Amino acid sequence: MQTSLEAIDLRCVRGERSLFQGLSFTLKGGELLRIGGPNGSGKTSLLRITCGLLEPDQGEVRWGGESVRRLKEEFWARLLYLGHANALKDDLTASENLKIACALAGVVVDARRVTEALARLGLAGRENLPARVLSQGQRRRVALARLALGEAAALWVLDEPFTALDAAAVEDVRSLIAGHVSRGGGVLYTTHHEVSIAAAVSRRIDLGGGQG
């Protein structure tokens, strides 16, 4: 199936407030789409709607022309979503956490590739430390190490991937995203950091201030 994500006339209401309405966009392979906007403008809700975790109050999200809430596992097998939460277990080591995250996503990895992925994110030598003793930035890096093993996923949806990272890690993640886009994958992400990522097609939608 082609990488082709289509959001049609989305509307999201949280509580009494309408976060956005009439929001439409498309994302094809090799494209980068950044969602901008102030805190509380609905960026995370939009990403969750795109993944099919949240039902939009109006409109729908389609993957290859079919609604994602109907496709379910067929779509999710092609998706890599990293949310605000790192999805790490404090009692498991960095490499155990990464291996489990990959297994849940249906990606089979061996120990060597897990070590390589962690090293790529600057965690060499810390593979066997429990996540409990890692710093906030290191925990984020463990979660992001999935990107280094995520080439099989056609669509990456990343919620604030650069938060809590130092300059070196931001650079690592930037190059992983650029690499994915150049391979023909699509990336949808939100960030408050001004990070320029090389991509053939790079667009930006700003929430809470109209479409830009």
Partner 1 sequence: MIAALRCVIQRDLLLAARRSSDVMTVVLFFVIVVSLFPLGIGPEPKLLRTVAPGVLWVAALLASMLALGRVFASDHADGTLEQMMLGATPLGLIVAAKVFAHWFVTGLPLVLISPVLALQFDLPQELLGVLVVSLALGTPVLSFIGAIGAALTLGLRGAGALLALLVLPLYVPVLIIGAGAAEAAAAGLGGSAQLLILGAMLIVAAAFAPWAAAAALRISVE
* Residues of this chain that bind partner 1 (CB under 8 A): 51-55, 72-73, 76-77, 79, 81, 83-89, 91-92, 96, 99-101, 103-106, 108
Alpha-carbon gap, residue 81 to 71, rounded angstroms: 16
Of the pair 106, 137, the CB lying nearest partner 1 is at 106
Alpha-carbon gap, residue 2 to 202, rounded angstroms: 19
> How many CA atoms, within 13 angstroms, populate the side-chain half-sphere of residue 132?
4
Least distance from C-beta 79 to partner 1, angstroms?
A: 6
Of the pair 37, 52, the CB lying nearest partner 1 is at 52
Least distance from C-beta 181 to partner 1, angstroms?
A: 21
Beta carbons of 47 and 190 less than 8 angstroms apart: yes
Of the pair 187, 199, the CB lying nearest partner 1 is at 187
**Of 197, 189, 96, nearest in space to 145 by CA:** 96
Of the pair 55, 166, the CB lying nearest partner 1 is at 55
Least distance from C-beta 145 to partner 1, angstroms?
A: 14
Least distance from C-beta 206 to partner 1, angstroms?
A: 25
Q: How many residues does the chain have?
A: 212
Edge-to-edge order in the sheet of strand 4-14: 17-28, 4-14, 58-63, 66-67
Of the pair 98, 199, the CB lying nearest partner 1 is at 98
Taking phi first (over 0 means left), then psi (-120 to 50 degrees means alpha), and beta for anything else, what does residue 25 get? Answer: beta
What pairing do the DSSP bridges indicate for beta strands 4-14 and 58-63? antiparallel
Of the pair 16, 73, the CB lying nearest partner 1 is at 73
Cα 184 to Cα 86, 151, 198, 205: the distances in Å are: 26, 10, 13, 21
Least distance from C-beta 140 to partner 1, angstroms?
A: 12
Least distance from C-beta 82 to partner 1, angstroms?
A: 9
